[in-house]
Every structure is written in structure tokens, then in C-alpha cells.
Amino acid sequence: MARLIQAADLEDIARGAAVLGTGGGGDPYIGRLLAQQAIREHGPVTLVSLDEVPDEALGADAGGMGAPTVGVEKLAGGTEHVLAFQALETQLGRPLTHVVCGEAGGSNSTLPFVVAARLGRPLVDGDAMGRAFPELQMSIPAIYGVAATPLALADQQGNVVLLTAVDNRWTERIARAITIEMGCTAALSSYVMEGATLRRTLVPGTLSLCQELGQLIRAARARHQDAVERVTERLGGRRLFQGRVTDVGRRTETGFARGHATIAGVEDWRGQECRVEFQNEHLVAVRDGTVVASVPDLIIVLSSDTAEPVTTEQLRYGLRVVVIAAPCDERWRSPAGLALVGPRYFGYDFDHVPMAPPAADGRHGDSPAGRSPGRGPCVSAPGRRGRPSP
């Protein structure tokens, strides 16, 4: 059912999106501020569910590309996102009827509200990943053969680039080079899809799930409940580790934020160590030398007390965190999905071991009946060793 999203809703949505963003997807605070400002100036955004999207609809995503480490220093303005979206319309020669959310992530799930509010277009309640991923070809529509181009990039100076590439890998290569030259972050619109394709390929209900996660964290905090546990339950996930961050290695290279965090265990994990490696988003979690979760499953780092999602650029020494894993959209587990986003694509020499059977509807949902979503490893991969990031 279509519903209106007001500025006040954005706090929950941004926080929930940062949970699903698995460390990436951009800063939730900056994205929220931009979306709230746009809604205050232009009125609320109409959020339509996927099954309400008509066949004759034409949608494209609106968001950002680049290194989150840069995005928190070189702040987006919002106008460049409108510029990119409109450039795509000009290229297509017809209006885009719907704004789409490309990925679940702190800013990439809130920037679509900026474009939707400023241009008065409905926003589709769904996304193309059910989480965030660092590269352009990594989307569920791409598994179905949807091309990422025509694609538009724009920067805050007003430079606009339109790209038509022969495949999505070339799209990623060329768009990444442009983004780096634009200052390591850029506004992006891509993956133009008609109504039927949107309905078939997107992950439904993502923005509502973001809002629900945000509400749930807020409510748990108010009631002094264990907010981390509520999030874990809602996502059908498992708690992998709890501890204090003792080391963070981070570098911005080839347009990405790459690095790792080392966490020293507390409580059940005292004496153990967990290493989380990332490329914009968390890629693998390695506990005492054993891989306990990997892409495409969601590896989520939350502040221990408040369940505040911790993006990779916020990771710092001393932070008390919980690492949880949650099952990805089941389409990521297909051979085509794993070719795009499995551990081997990112340079690891092991296959993906699903952290748990996907939820009954194939998406983030309640945990399957009879399975305890409590603590403890869900993936036991003896003999598979994490290796340093490529």
C-alpha cells in the first residue's frame, strides 16, 4: 500500500538501512539530513510497494558511488543526485516515473528520498540487493541480465557523465575511474527498468524493513531491552562475536575504502579474536582463524549497548561491538549470484558456506521455526582459512 514518508520517519529508515548496509552504503547521518531537508522543502515522499508498480512504469536508482571514507569528509549536497537522475531522463528521451533504491545502506537508502522529494516522484519500496555491495555489477537485477547502463554520474561542480557500456563489468571499471576523478564520490543513477522488471528483480519491502529495524532499535532502547538481540531475531541472524575493537587498518585505494578490524572477545568469546575484513562493506568474518561468515551473507557490526550500526569508516579502537550475521536474499546464493559476490570474487580462496538456510520467503524475515537465533557459530568451516584482503 502506498504511504507517505515524512521527515520524521527518516531517522528510523536511515538507522535500519545502515544495519542492512553491512558497514557500507554511506553514512546514515548525512543521508538522513539531506532527505529530511528535501522533504521539509518539497513535501513528503510517496512510498509505493513493488506490486503497485504498473507495467508502464520506468524506474532508475538514485544514490551515490565511491568510498564512504571520503563521503564523510566531502559531503554530498543532493543537487548532484537530481542532476544525475535528470541526465538519465534526457538520455532516455522519456521521463522516469519512479525513483528506485539501489542498495540498502545509510546514505544509499536515504538519497533516493532526496530525488523523490525534489522531483515529486514516487519511490519504490524495495532495493536491488537486500544489503549493500561495493561494485556496480553486484545487483540482483544483474543476475537477471539487466544492464547497469545507461548510467549517469554527476558531481558537486556540475560535471555530468553518461555511460553506455558493453557489460556491467566495464560499467564498473569506467564509472569507478570517473568517480575517482570526481573526487572519490559521485552521484549515480543507473539500472533503468520497466515496471515488470522492477517487480521481478527487486528485493521487495526493503525500505519498510529499514524503517522497522530503526523503530525496533529505538523501542528496545526506550524499554532498556537488548536491541542487538531484537535486530538479530528480526533478520533471522546469529550473533557471531562480541568484544572490543583492538585494531583497525583502513586505506582508501582504487576508489574503495578497504581494510579490516580486529576485535578481542568478551563474555562467551573471551580469549578469542575476530577479524572483519571489508571493501566498503564487510566481506568476511574470521574467528580465531576460522571463517564464520562471508559475502553474500550480511555481516553486521552493531554497538554493543545501543545496537547503533557501525559503518566501516566509524570503526575505531576501543569500540564495544557485536558482530552478527544474517542470511542474504536467496538469489545471491545461485551460481550467477555467487559469481558476482561470492568470496572468490573478492580474492578469497574458499567458497561461500551459507550462514543458515534462507528464510521461508527467501528474504530477510523471521527466523525459521525451530531454529534458535541465539549465540554461537552458525558456520563451521574448519580448514578454510581467511587470507589477507587482495
Residue from the set 14, 39, 101, 182 that interacts with its own copies by CB under 8 A: 182
Residue 181 CB-density burial (10 A; 0-12 exposed, 13-18 middle, 19+ buried): middle
Smallest separation, CB 90 to its own copies (Å): 9
Residue from the set 177, 196, 219, 339 that interacts with its own copies by CB under 8 A: 177
What are the distances in angstroms from CA 253 to CA 86, 148, 248?
30, 23, 16
**Residue 161 makes contact with its own copies by CB under 8 A:** yes
Site for its own copies in 53-92 (CB under 8 A): 87, 91
**Residue 1 makes contact with its own copies by CB under 8 A:** no
Q: Going by C-beta distance under 8 Å and a sequence separation of 6 or more, which residues neighbour residue 80?
A: 154, 155, 156, 158, 186, 187
Site for its own copies in 314-373 (CB under 8 A): none
**Residue 166 makes contact with its own copies by CB under 8 A:** yes
**Residue 163 makes contact with its own copies by CB under 8 A:** yes
Residue from the set 73, 157, 372, 390 that interacts with its own copies by CB under 8 A: 157
**Residue 158 makes contact with its own copies by CB under 8 A:** yes
Smallest separation, CB 150 to its own copies (Å): 9
**Residue 94 makes contact with its own copies by CB under 8 A:** no
Smallest separation, CB 154 to its own copies (Å): 9
Task: Please tell me the distance from the alpha carbon of residue 132 to that of residue 10, in angstroms, as a whole number.
Answer: 18
Residues 68, 311 contacting (CB under 8 angstroms)? yes
* 274-278, long-range: CB < 8 A, 24+ apart: 274/240, 274/241, 274/243, 274/323, 275/386, 276/23, 276/301, 276/323, 277/386, 277/389, 278/23, 278/24, 278/312
Nearer of residues 165 and 291 to its own copies, judged by Cβ: 165
Smallest separation, CB 371 to its own copies (Å): 46
Residue from the set 70, 119, 162, 266 that interacts with its own copies by CB under 8 A: 162
**Residue 180 makes contact with its own copies by CB under 8 A:** yes
Smallest separation, CB 78 to its own copies (Å): 18
Q: How many CA atoms lie within 13 A of 18 on its CB side?
A: 28
What are the distances in angstroms from CA 192 to CA 35, 86, 189, 260?
22, 12, 8, 34
Binding site for its own copies (CB under 8 A): 87, 91, 157-166, 170, 173-174, 176-178, 180-182
